[in-house]
Structure 1
């Protein structure tokens, strides 16, 4: 309301604007109230808010300007700021910031021919008590000027971080998911540390291939798969795919 008055005061005058506006959703406004708002000392919260808004802008920009309230709240607390989630929401609104929004994405899984005897060891429970307990893997695609490229991602369930990735122009096992597997931290794959690690994926042909299964067996990792055509059985990997494309691909298009 005060900003509206300041914008039009030179053309219409403060008293005329207040008289026309009368009682509003924000209360009754008068020329005296407008003057008081200009002379009223700043609240104790204002100086800290001004500092925090700048910090919110900085952290938001450092994270590709895609974080929403929840991620910004965690990022602010990670940076050492004692702030609440509602406070972060208010500061982001004040700074004109918002997170990127995701839409629905097409499925890229190619079903494997033949029967797959591997069990589902996860049963849609994407939780882990330690770092080398459960990994989820999936393949997505990114549209480029020349057509498409494909991205294979492996995510650690405990840390919710992408720990292995690969990009290739085709869906061939050797050039995509196996390369992502090689990029994942190999040191924990010893018989001592890798014991009990579960690798969960869909039933796509790349993950059913003998080369990929042999790599898992050689590392002492248990293979787990969801049911055919059910994205919820690999929901965490699907979520990571969506976040990757929304935050790092779609938000950077010109």
Structure 2
């Protein structure tokens, strides 16, 4: 094998006896330290934060060097998206009454509608809000709106669209589990 590689026996054995240089020893030590810091941070810290910690411990090290070691060892920081508040709490227990009492099977169309808001995360605009209205008799979506804000006007527009499409003039029961997010007087006046 050594002949094919054109190496001498003495050179090969000298290579086996050779001790690792200081640079390799330091790199191995720092690599182990980086892995420990990364694990202790629950895999959140990246090169900048790990470099900061190593510098506080007395290491003279650059962020680029730490980043290179992390890349060589396939270590990547995991981004945790911050929590976003999507609803507002308010006390309105006496303002609205539950007329349906969980009876979601009306006998005819346009007797009871159900409405809900879905929060959709987009990379470009953050949260957008899908308001939809479903006729509980047919189980079909009869109106929907997509908006950038969580304003009561958007819900009222959706309700107006639904009433026009169904040509409904008589009072309709509108069930919503998010009424506390809206301005209660506007919502309840519209549904009469």
Q: Structure 1 length as normaliser, TM-score? A: 0.38
Larger radius of gyration: 2
Q: Structure 2 length as normaliser, TM-score? A: 0.49
